[in-house]
Amino acid sequence: MLVKSLFKNRKFAVLILCLFSISLTACSAGPRAAKSVDAFNASEPNKFADLNQTITSTAVLASAKTNDRIYYLGAGDILELTVFQVEDLNKKVRVNGRGEIILPLLGTIDVQGKTLTEVESIIVAKLAADYLQDPQVSLFVEEYRSQQITVMGAVLKPDVYSVRQSRSIFEMLSLAGGLSPTASDTIRVNTTQTDSETGKTSKQNLLLSVKALLEGGEAASFMRLRGGDSILVPKAGVIFVEGAVDKPGSYKMEGDTNVLKAIAMAGGIPWSGKQGKVQVIRSIGGTPQAIDINLTKVREQQSDDVTLQDGDIVVVSFSSSKRFISGFFRTAGQIFGYRLN
C-alpha cells in the first residue's frame, strides 16, 4: 500500500527513476577508473628500467664506435717499468702530485698528460744518450688513479670512477647503474674539451636533457669525458596540483612540465572544474604570486601555456553551480548504496 501511495505522485516517481539510473551508471564506471590508477602506478618503475636499458645499450654502441682509447698519465698512477737486460732499472713507480716520476740514473721525468708511448720514447732517448745501445723499454700502467670521472646525484651508484680511456656521457651513467626513479631529465656536465681545429682547451658547464641526448638531439651526445670531468644528476622537481582535479597532490616534474601536463598527471579536470580559471602560485623572492591561465584558450592555441618550476602550485577553481549539482547527485547515489565520482 505504501509503494502504491508513493507512485501516485508522478513527479516523485520520475525523480526516483532518474536518480536510480544515474547511480547505476556511476557504479559501473567506478572499477574502470580504479584500474587506470593502478596501471599508472605500476608503470612508473618500468619507465626508469626501460630508460636505463636504453642508456646501457647506447653506452655499448658508443664504446664500440670510438677510436679514442688513449690513456693520458697523471698524478697517482702507478707505472711498472721494464728495461731489457737491465734489472736494476726494473721497478714500480708512482706519478707524484706534480705529474713526475723519478727513476735511477735518469732522474725526474715529466709524464703529466703524456701517453705510455710518449714516456717510453723519452726513457729510450735518455738511456741511449748516456747508458745503453738500442735500449728495449716497456712501460705498463699497474694502477689507474689519475683519470677519474665523478658521477653524483640521482643515480643508483654515485661514485668517483677511474677510467682507462675517454668515456661518453652514456657510458658514465651506465657505470653509475643508471638513473634512479627520482632523477631529473636535466643533468649538469662539467668538462674540459679540446677544440679539434685550434687545439685549445676550454672548461664547459653544460645543462643537458637525457631524452635529447638519447635521441641524438644534442651535440654532447658524441662528447668524450676524461679525468677531472663530472656529471651531476639532480632530483626531479616537485609540483603540487590542487582544487578541481581528480587526484590532487604532489607530482614529480618530468622534463619541461607545463600546466596542461601537470593537470593530466593529476587525472584531469572533472565536470565541476573551471577550465578557464586556473592559477599557478609561485614564490618569487619569498612572496607568493599568482599567474592566471585559461586552459580553454591554451588548448585552442589562443594563449600560451606556462612552464612550471620546482615548488609551483597549480590550483583549478570549482564552478559553484556545477559543484552543487555534483554534490546533490553524489548524495542521492549514496542513498541507494552506490558511489558517484
Does 60 lie in the same domain as 173? yes
137 and 198 both lie in a single domain: no
Per-residue model confidence as pLDDT tens for the chain (341 residues): 444 444 445 544 444 444 444 444 444 443 333 232 222 233 455 677 888 899 999 888 877 776 666 788 888 899 999 999 888 889 999 999 999 999 988 899 999 889 899 999 999 999 999 888 899 999 999 888 888 999 999 999 999 998 888 889 999 999 999 999 888 888 899 998 878 788 788 999 888 888 888 888 677 888 889 888 999 998 878 889 999 999 998 888 877 789 999 999 999 999 888 888 999 998 776 578 899 999 999 999 999 999 998 888 999 998 876 655 555 445 545 544 544 44
206 DSSP β-pair partners: 189
Q: What is the CATH number of the domain that holds 97?
A: 3.30.1950.10
Count structural domains, the chain: 3
Q: State which residues form the domain around 136.
A: 78-143
Quote the distance between the C-alpha of residue 194 and its chain's center: 27
| DSSP single-letter state for residue 220 | G
Q: What is the CATH number of the domain that holds 324?
A: 3.10.560.10
In this structure, the answer to whether residues 253 and 224 fall within a common structural domain is no
Give me the phi and psi of 154, to 5 degrees please: -85, 60
DSSP class of 219: G
Q: What is the pTM assigned to this prediction? A: 0.55
What's the rounded Cα separation, in Å, for the pair 332 and 23?
8
The backbone torsions φ and ψ at residue 270, rounded to the nearest 5 degrees and listed phi first, read -75, 175
* Shared domain check, 252 and 153: no
Sign of CA dihedral 182, 187, 191, 197: positive
Position 2 in a domain: no
In a domain, 4, yes or no: no
8 Å CB contact between 259 and 295? yes
